[in-house]
Each structure stands twice: as structure tokens, then as C-alpha cells.
Amino acid sequence: MLPASDCFKSIASGLQRDGYALLPNFITPLLSAELARECNAQNLASLLTPAFVGHGAQRQRADLIRGDRTHWFDPLAMSVVQAEFWDRMQALRRDINQHLLLGLETFETHYALYPPGSRYRRHRDRFRDDDLRVLSMVCYLNEGWLEHEGGALRLYLHTPQNGAPAAETFRDIFPHSGTLIVFLSAEFEHEVLPATRDRFSIAGWFSRRA
């Protein structure tokens, strides 16, 4: 794993250049395994609940749109491994603010478990009536993941074409243990493709202060 300073510098550079950054081994294999075990234990204890879409008065269950089950981190009642992950993300937030001046003030995050065959259809993370979310992140917790098992995050890109309208392409990011993807919430549509095994991750958002 890269030293924190090099790791954060790589993420800031990717965001500035491409609007997204991908970093394998953002967390150690040990921390990833401990987080995955905790997420699975919460699922077995029925602490993970079906996810919602929208927010505020528009928040609703949407089983046809997304099939994951989630559990939010509570900053006042985190486990030891959650606190370790949280502290690393807060250090990343401070570094990005220092280098890119994005004004990131808050962070929210949750476990996400996608059972086999479930997905999250194409969407953006920023709400239509709320522009506070600036960066989206996902950190994967799946040891020994094989690409034929599916479960990729498909990130839709727009590539300039010599003055012509940008052509749409995509990049598939497979959920290998310890890998982190960070991207601009307002800029990138994305989806989660179905997998053939349980798919564990931590998803979160860095936001501006209201």
C-alpha cells in the first residue's frame, strides 16, 4: 500500500485530470477483511436494510432500481474498524480540500451488500434539487474477486472527438478488495452490474456545507 501522502496525491491528481480516480490497495487487506466480516455479520443479524432512492419527502424504496442492502455508519457509535476507515476518509477529505479547494465539509457513508443477481441501474449521485454532494466514493471489500463473477461498477465517460460532440464510453471497475474509486458526483452516471456472489462495499459522499 502506498504511503498516505502519495496515495492522496494520486487521488487528487486523478480528480483534477479526469474527474475520477481509481486506486488499488487504498486500505490494507487486513482492514478490508475485517470490514467485510463486520458487514456480513450485520447482514446475518438483519441490520442491513433494503436501500432507498431520493431524499427528504421523495425518499422511497425502489427495488426495481437498486437491490442492495445498507447500514449507515454512525459517527457517535462506530466500531473500531469503522473508525479506522472513517479516519482515513477524513484525512483524504482534508488533503483534497488542500489541493483542489473543493470545500468538502461533511462525509457520510454506509455498508452496501449486493446479493447475487442484484444491481443498481444507471444514475447520478447528485439530487436534482440538492447540489451539496461533490464527490462520490466506493471502497470494495471482496477478497479473491474474479472478473467473470461480474459485479463491476460501470462508470460512463465522455471522450472528446476533435471538435465533434463527445462520444460516450465506459469503464468497468471490478470490486477487488481494498480498491477505492472516487468521482465527481454531478458529472458521472454509473451503474452496478449483477454479480454471481455476494458483493461487499462501503459507499459514501463528500459534501459541501449547506
Q: Is the pTM of this model over 0.75?
A: yes
Among 37-41, 147-151, 164-168, which stretch is predicted with the lowest mean pLDDT?
164-168
Among 66-70, 118-122, 161-165, 176-180, which stretch is predicted with the lowest mean pLDDT?
161-165
Q: How far from 78 is each of 83, 110, 162, 184, CA to CA, in Å?
A: 6, 11, 50, 27
In angstroms, the first-to-last Cα distance of the chain is 35
Q: How far from 158 is each of 13, 16, 171, CA to CA, in Å?
A: 19, 16, 11
Q: Dump pLDDT digits (tens) for 34-83.
A: 999 999 999 999 999 998 765 554 455 566 789 999 999 999 999 999 99
Among 32-41, 54-63, 119-128, 133-142, which stretch is predicted with the lowest mean pLDDT?
54-63
Mean of pLDDT over the chain: 92
User: Can you list the domains of the chain with their CATH numbers?
Assistant: 4-52+65-207 (2.60.120.620)
> Quick check: 3 pLDDT over 80?
no
Name the grid cell of 87. 479516519
How many CB atoms are closer than 10 A to CB 46? 8
